[in-house]
A and B are shown apart, each in its own frame.
Chain A
Amino acid sequence: MKVLERLEKIDRRFVFLLILLAVVIPLLFPIGFKIEVSEPVAMLYRTVEELSPGSRVLFSFDYGPSTMPEVYPMNLALARHCFSKDIKIIGIALWPEGVQFGNEAFRVAAEEYGKEYGVDYINLGYKAGGIVVVSAAAENIPTTFPQDYTGRSIQEFPIMTEVKNFGNIDLIVSFSAGDPGTREYIRIAQGRYGKKVGTGVTAVSAPAFYPYLNAGQLQGLLGGMKGAAEYETMIQQSGLGTSGMDAQSIAHGLIIFFIILANVFYIAGRRKK
């Protein structure tokens, strides 16, 4: 029993070390687990597939550096998918930190597919106000976002010439790590204007969006890095999501091992008492 007691009071630095190894080793030496695509991810993929070339999709970059490892891979995968189908993307941000990530995803995907800023995609930047920004943009995008993120008038860009409001947008995808984010688009863009809304959210917040998915208010849901990896599998272009899956698998397995081990000690200790 002394062994059990010792293990139960193990130094937490040992736990930290094991987690570090569980994350770093698979990143350095990928295992290549097969990724199965779940229905919520396939739904969003099908929604984008159904759009015709020249359609307009609104991306909302509602995340920051802390959630970047989970949300940015989805952002990039969706940008790649849209560009591969010649779909135009208009980016906005409800989070100030989201603008730069949107730019980066655009830069990477645009280079791969030869897309031009202002013609095939644009970043209108951040606007403070959360749900009111969505409400105002739904009625009038040019007055809500009169300039792009660098301060240039949107009238200069061909992509914006025929865009007046959400009526000119075929799909909205919010990459969201909290509020303001996906909920604002569901309430206003979907609830009031009947627009198609899809989302990519952090794994921890994904369970909260299942009711919207089930009710048909969301056209698809990517949850966490796994969601990104699944989308990358669908578009057959592996990226940051896929490469992180091995590490996440092992880390999850290790945490579950810890939980089971601790409960074995706990039950054994209780029986002894």
Chain B
Amino acid sequence: MKKEVPLIITFVAGMIMIIQYFIPHWPFSNLQQMFNNWFLIITVFALILGILNLLRNHIEKVSRRRKGWWYSIVLMAGFAVMGVAGFVWGPAEGRPFDWIYWHAHVPMSSTMFALLAFFVASASYRAFRARTAEATLLLVSAILVMMSRVPLGSYIWSQLPLIGDWIMSYPNMAGQRAIMIGIALGVVSTSLRIILGIERTYLSGK
């Protein structure tokens, strides 16, 4: 029963979700709404579980004094402060949660992401080489698209934006479509394998 019950639940839920997409009428439309609501409730509990698991891992890290344990203290302190600020005063504008968000979280996250600009520049200088014909093609396309995406490009050559648009609208789109169709076929086949009980790794990892 340990395996049969989850397999039956997966099959029934999966089939209903497929049928309701093609027949959006009673009783399938109601079932879809009901399943959606269940999913949203389960997601919230999954979030709580995730938070508790994260805290447990970091508490363990601190208690065993593992490498970098002080970072865990910062994480837990940040979590506690944001949690208290959100639960006690709410997230509305001007409240502590909002203030911490704008004056700590936003600058720190933006700074981390902004560092990418430096690494991209350094990496492009060191690694972006025209070693093969394919690499050269990629290199030339990248240069054309990069310059066409900024106003400076049209100052250098008025046709550059048009070339950039052409690369994006034709070669890029063809490649993207191929990737999307490949992914979609993979998703369909994997989903069918799960719904039909062929793929069972989600049950016990075996």
Contacts and interface: CB of A to CB of B under 8 A. Distances in A.
A182 B21 CA distance: 20
Contacts of A136: 33, 36-37, 40
Contacts of A100: 91, 98, 101-102
B37 A35 contact: no
B172 A210 contact: yes
B122 A132 contact: no
Interface stretch (B4-12, B73-81, B141-149): B141-149
A107 interface: yes
A65 B169 contact: no
Nearest to A261: B125
Contacts, number: 164
B166 to A, nearest CB: 11
A258 B118 CA distance: 12
B201 interface: no
Nearest to B175: A207
A12 B122 contact: yes
A74 interface: no
Nearest to A257: B125
Chain A: interface size category? 35 or more
B37 A258 contact: no
Interface string B4-29: 00000000000000000100100001
B110 to A, nearest CB: 5
Given A35-B151, A211-B180, A255-B124, A128 B40 contact: yes
A36 interface: yes
Which residue among B32, B40, B120 has the maximum number of chain A CB atoms within 10 Å of its CB? B40
B165 interface: yes
B110 A132 contact: no
A203 interface: yes
Given A211-B173, A249-B150, A256-B143, A64 B109 contact: yes
Given A128-B47, A266-B129, A15 B173 contact: no
Contacts of B150: 33, 226, 245, 248-249, 252-253
B168 interface: yes
B128 interface: yes
Interface stretch (A52-60, A138-146, A154-162): A138-146
B168 A65 contact: no
Contacts of B29: 139
A36 B126 CA distance: 32
Interface in B113-143: 113-114, 117-118, 120-122, 124-126, 128-130, 139, 142-143
Given A68-B110, A253-B150, A255-B124, 13 more contacts: A18-B121, A38-B161, A65-B109, A128-B43, A128-B46, A139-B32, A139-B33, A139-B36, A149-B92, A203-B149, A248-B150, A252-B149, A262-B128
